[in-house]
Amino acid sequence: MNYLNKIDTEGFAIIDKVYNEKEINKIISLIENTTENTTENATFRKSQDLFAIRQFHKEIPKTLDFIFNQNLKDIIENTFGKGFFITKSIYFDKPEKSNWFVGYHQDLTISVDKKMEIENFENWTVKQNQFAVQPPKEILENNFTIRIHIDKTTRENGALKVIKNSHSKGILRIENLEMEDETICEVEKGGIMIMRPLLFHASSKTTNNERRRVIHIEFSKQELPNGLSWSEKDCIEN
């Protein structure tokens, strides 16, 4: 099935049953084996409200064989075509009693290998010794994100809230956005959510004592100008 029309119209699509129980358990096992045996790592962020792994596909590459099962590869190719590669990945683990929440925002930065003066690349930052920058909106408009749900995600444990079609309005300040079409994106365990980076999204605190684990992967097929490179680039095997 091609989900592109829904993604272009609303900014997102939810697809259930992309992974079976065995695949999810294998991904969980690989994550737990790595985190249990790692005492200190610059890409790991841990607090009482959140555990996160940046550059996830680099830190735990064995998960990729299970993440990119035939279902996911077919969805990507049938929806977007060929030639896309990973540009960024983050693992989020929101504990049962988490008070962590995120206000409405767009995903405006990409991870790159160095800092340099390039027209329309702005708002440079550094996180975990990695450069991030806001590229021209044309790059962001053509990228997409897939969120893989390791746990059932509901409004009670922090499912994303989105503003439908907000991705089509370009880069906006939140106060200039009409908040009229909010949707709660509940996703079953083993399902995915595909979204455009410019879609305004947020998440709330956990209220039902249920854990929420998500693998967030960003994709592009665009090369960057003037010798700038994607720092987390990893090609998808056919």
pLDDT value, residue 2: 76
Q: Are strands 160-163 and 201-203 parallel, antiparallel or unpaired?
A: antiparallel
What is 4-231's CATH topology?
Jelly Rolls (2.60.120)
Lowest mean pLDDT, pick from 14-23, 69-78, 128-137, 215-224: 128-137
Residue-wise pLDDT for 97-107, tens only, equals 777 789 999 99
pLDDT for res 177: 82
Mean pLDDT of 4-20: 97
What are the extents of the domains in the chain?
4-231
CA distances from 59 to 33, 63, 116, 168, 186 (A): 12, 10, 26, 34, 28
Residue with tokens 């702005």: 122
Q: What is the pLDDT of residue 223?
A: 95
Q: Is the pLDDT reported for residue 227 higher than 90? A: yes
How many whole angstroms separate alpha carbon 124 and alpha carbon 133?
A: 5
